[in-house]
A and B are shown apart, each in its own frame.
Chain A
């Protein structure tokens, strides 16, 4: 298992750069990963999505799918793709310190 230093903290990551231990995640780490993914600043709208994913994963054990996010967090598909452009499925999960979403929808 590889490790990576994000925002001054050493965390465990897999070969694709997804954090493997959600408890190592902090808001500072999220902001740092977001920058790497091309999102300069995380707004309240971003946090609404990230907070939902964290809470959802804490109960289900896996990152929610995109439709899980739009239905669960009350964010429209359009907004979700605007907030996390070019591939929200992986981006949201990565920034939230979770693995890739399991499920097709």
Chain B
């Protein structure tokens, strides 16, 4: 009996910047190690494949207790009062800050990462129920998204895979 290749499937359900990168980083590492990779985008995770949204993903400071002022160079772990988080522009500010930090250590943008994953052979699918709910079409998605599939299809195509829900 031939040995089956290791398979990993990621269910991407979030569109916040900090919840988008884990699947990209781990998916890329898996492909580099010769593991078959499938990504299934559902709910807010569809922002990762939505042409109109992929370059505009953000991270809000609201309700994020781990985001401290040391990101802005303030020594120690001084908190950001939650009430500041509701000021218009705070989410954009936090997002720009995080993106600049990632750029500094040469982390690719979400769009570039997605292209790398597609070129490296990752299989990408959008969730049918989410697509219907948000009124999207396959044309709204970046190249590389193979199809819009049901939850049942996903179960069929990930038989034997390790599944990671993000």
Contacts and interface: CB of A to CB of B under 8 A. Distances in A.
Contacts of A86: 5, 34
A87 B33 contact: yes
Interface string B22-65: 00010011011111000000000000000000000000000000
B119 A104 contact: no
B17 interface: no
Interface in A48-105: 66-67, 76-78, 81, 85-91, 104-105
Given A67-B108, A104-B25, A105-B25, A89 B120 contact: no
B120 A105 contact: no
Interface in B92-138: 106-108, 115-116, 119-121
Contacts of A67: 106, 108, 116
Interface in B112-166: 115-116, 119-121
For the complex, would chain A's binding face be called helix, strand, loop or mixed by DSSP majority? helix
Given A76-B119, A78-B119, A105 B106 contact: yes
Contacts of A87: 32-35
Contacts of A78: 119-120
B119 A88 contact: no
B29 A77 contact: no
Given A81-B121, A87-B32, A89-B32, 11 more contacts: A67-B108, A67-B116, A76-B119, A81-B31, A81-B120, A87-B34, A87-B35, A88-B32, A89-B29, A90-B34, A105-B25
